[in-house]
Structure 1
Amino acid sequence: MPVLSWKDAATPGHGAGPPGDDRAAGIGELALRHLDAAYNLGRWLLGNEQDAADAVHDAFLRATASGGSRVDGNPRAWWLAIVRNCCLARLAVHGRERRNVALDQVAAEHGRDAADAVVPPLDEPIEERLEHEQRRALVRHHLARLPPEFREVLLLRELEALSYREIADVLDLPIGTVMSRLARGRAALQKAINPAANEVDDGL
């Protein structure tokens, strides 16, 4: 993971805001505590390392500027919602073409955790282990190609282990919509991974 320029400012002792601003310091600690989750979300939404780092930096500045005045309920969901909004703002400015091209690299280099969450690791003989590694690579490949609304709920649920309520808060959606997108995303991923099986099902 790249070193982010704001990490020293967010580290307790360096100060995330003006001296004596305990709320700003608390936001810095919150950002660091959930840095991996924020960076993973940014990387999968934007498609490359630098844009993800820049979006997390933007989110930190926005969060500290707010003073945490709107933190209510779940601080992690509040922080990830800001990260997501900053990612969407960058997509609106820079367009989606660069993201779509770069997602291949993200899936190849950083998709292992996401694929392992969907296809859990098994204690298995070497032949079966190789087969499952190929399947994980296939999951990473197709996960990167899911529509963003499906990909983000799968990542937040399967990789970051957020609850339905937390995902709903991050995405500003009803819980029912979150559950629907999860079901549809899992179905779309399964269909992409096993097209032959789906053809058999369709023919029954």
Structure 2
Amino acid sequence: MNRFEELIAPHLDAAYNLARWITGSDSAARDVVQESALRAFRFLQRFADGNAKAWFLTIVRNESYTWLKASAGRHWVAFDEEIEKNEGALSHSQTPELLAIHTENAALIHQALSALPPTFREVIVLKELENLPYKDIALVVDIPIGTVMSRLARARAMLKLELLKLYDHE
């Protein structure tokens, strides 16, 4: 149990983040992370040494795609169960106008990222949101580093096009 807490527990937030972006569902992401953590716990003796985060995120990625395949044809509606609010005092750089712009931009980026196919969405999430190096992304996604770089370039281009479409509709 100590080994699990040391190697896997620190990466549960990253696991949820990846699962949420791949599945597109908060509740599915929680289920995926729970199943992934159980798998990691069961097979922890197989993990010798190396990058525990990449190993665990590989399990999460595989479970996320298993969930996507199993849920194909079902229609899921995601509900935000929590509304996050910044209740702290506004700093001088956080005027209501800037906060509104930031919130609107974040929503547009979220919408554009959600429109990407999962294989492109996952490399953006792993690189830009989880700050994984290319070699770790290659391990998680099980592709060569060169493919990671080209897929990331394509994903960024696709994201840019999606954002342009969204800005044009405003």
User: TM-score band, normalised by the shorter chain?
Assistant: 0.7 to 0.9
State how far apart, in whole Å, the 2-side matches of 1:173 and 1:73 are: 18
Q: Which runs of 4+ in 1 moved over 3 A?
A: 96-99, 123-133, 195-198
Q: Partner residue of 1:68?
A: 45
CA deviation vs aligned residue, 1:139-185 (integer Å, no higher than 9, x gap): 11111111111111101111110000111111111001111111111
State how far apart, in whole Å, the 2-side matches of 1:197 and 1:60 are: 39
State how far apart, in whole Å, the 1-side matches of 2:32 and 2:146 are: 28
CA contact (8 A) 2:115 2:162 kept: no
Percent of residue pairs bearing the same amino acid type: 43
Greater mean alpha carbon deviation, residues 55-64 or residues 152-161: 55-64
Q: Kindly tell me: are residues 32 and 137 of structure 1, through their superposed partners in 2, closer, same or farther at Cα, counting changes over 3 Å?
A: same
- The count of corresponding residues between Structure 1 and Structure 2 is 159
TM-score, normalised to structure 1, is: 0.68
Q: Kindly tell me: are residues 69 and 196 of structure 1, through their superposed partners in 2, closer, same or farther at Cα, counting changes over 3 Å?
A: closer
Q: Kindly tell me: are residues 37 and 196 of structure 1, through their superposed partners in 2, closer, same or farther at Cα, counting changes over 3 Å?
A: closer
- Superposition map of 1:1-40 within 5 A: 16=1, 25-40=2-17
Which residue, out of 105, 108, 112, partners 1:135? 105
Q: Kindly tell me: are residues 161 and 175 of structure 1, through their superposed partners in 2, closer, same or farther at Cα, counting changes over 3 Å?
A: same
Q: Partner residue of 2:88?
A: none
State how far apart, in whole Å, the 1-side matches of 2:166 and 2:5 are: 49
TM-score, normalised to structure 2, is: 0.80
AA matched with 1:41: L
Q: CA RMSD in A?
A: 2.7
Greater mean alpha carbon deviation, residues 45-54 or residues 140-149: 45-54
Structure 1 gaps, min length 5: 1-15, 17-24, 111-122, 199-204
Q: Partner residue of 2:138?
A: 168
